[in-house]
Amino acid sequence: MQSKLQVKQTTIELIQGDITHQDTDAIVNAANSSLLGGGGVDGAIHNGAGPDLLRETQNLGGCRTGDAKITGGYRLKAKYVIHAVGPIYQRNNDSVPGLLASAYRRSLEVGVANNLTSIAFPSISTGAYGYPVNQAAEIALQTVIEFAQLNVQYALIRFVLFDHPTWQLFCEELSRIAGGGDYQSSDIV
Ligand code: APR
């Protein structure tokens, strides 16, 4: 079982825990397009940040699915929250995988634009939005690994999985990708 991978300058790691406890530069919220809060990760982040977070997000004009917007972190340990909107899973909709990849990629791009060097992701879309974890894990990890191969900005990209089964599925997927030799062995420590 693999829970860590070095890709050039970036350490990609998988932990089981609570995203609101992370002290990375930014934590990513699994938001909805209104950016006005919700349950799951969204509820936990808004509870942890306090009311000033909603005061900021309600002036952002929402966020398209597959996109991401940044705010302050307020009472959270993380200085920033990057609000990413993943897709609602639909079995026969070919655009859904690309929208999930885009939610991760745009979050990373927004972090680069704000000179961040560490970021923590939840498992976007695998809760209320119903995305099968094994399929989402493959998309999430491939997207992040490809980004780390092309951008050396991040020292740390962390996935914070709330429950053990989700953590285990992400680790199995990371082992498969890393073992699959999909990229030069020099990327793997
Ligand atoms: N830390 C880390 N992961 C968490 C936490 C937490 N505190 N709370 C929940 N999770 C996990 C869930 O177990 C799931 O694996 O995050 C994953 C995503 O679940 P959701 O939060 O339901 O997010 P998502 O599936 O993207 O649905 C987004 O739900 O809360 C609403 O406003 C949100 O409408 C949006 C929708």
Reply yes or no on whether the pLDDT at 79 is more than 50. yes
Cα–Cα distance between 189 and 5 in angstroms, integer?
A: 7
pLDDT of amino acid 181: 56
Other beta carbons within 10 angstroms of residue 181's beta carbon come to: 9
Per-residue pLDDT, averaged over 74-103, amounts to 97
Cα–Cα distance between 113 and 125 in angstroms, integer?
A: 24
Residue 142 burial by Cβ neighbours in a 10 Å radius (0-12, 13-18, 19+)? middle
User: Does 57 sit in the ligand 1 pocket, CB within 6 Å?
Assistant: no
Reply yes or no on whether the pLDDT at 104 is more than 60. yes
pLDDT of amino acid 1: 77
Share of the chain above pLDDT 90, in %: 93
The best mutation among 16, 36, 41 to test binding of ligand 1, ranked by most ligand atoms within 8 Å of the C-beta, falls on: 41
Q: Whose CA is nearest to atom 24 of ligand 1?
A: 125
Does the predicted model carry a pTM greater than 0.75?
Answer: yes
Reply yes or no on whether the pLDDT at 188 is more than 70. no
Angle at 157 between CA 152 and CA 160, to 5 degrees: 175
Reply yes or no on whether the pLDDT at 133 is more than 70. yes
**42 given a catalytic annotation:** yes
User: Does 42 sit in the ligand 1 pocket, CB within 6 Å?
Assistant: yes
Out of 18, 42, 52, 67, pick the active-site residue.
42
8 Å CB contact between 6 and 157: no
φ, ψ for residue 59 (rounded to 5)?
-100, 10
Cα–Cα distance between 132 and 154 in angstroms, integer?
A: 27
- Ligand 1: nearest atom to the Cα of 18: 1
- Ligand 1: nearest atom to the Cα of 38: 32
Per-residue pLDDT, averaged over 106-111, amounts to 98
User: Does 137 sit in the ligand 1 pocket, CB within 6 Å?
Assistant: no
In tens, the pLDDT along 143-178 reads: 999 999 999 999 999 999 999 999 999 999 999 999
Cα–Cα distance between 133 and 167 in angstroms, integer?
A: 10
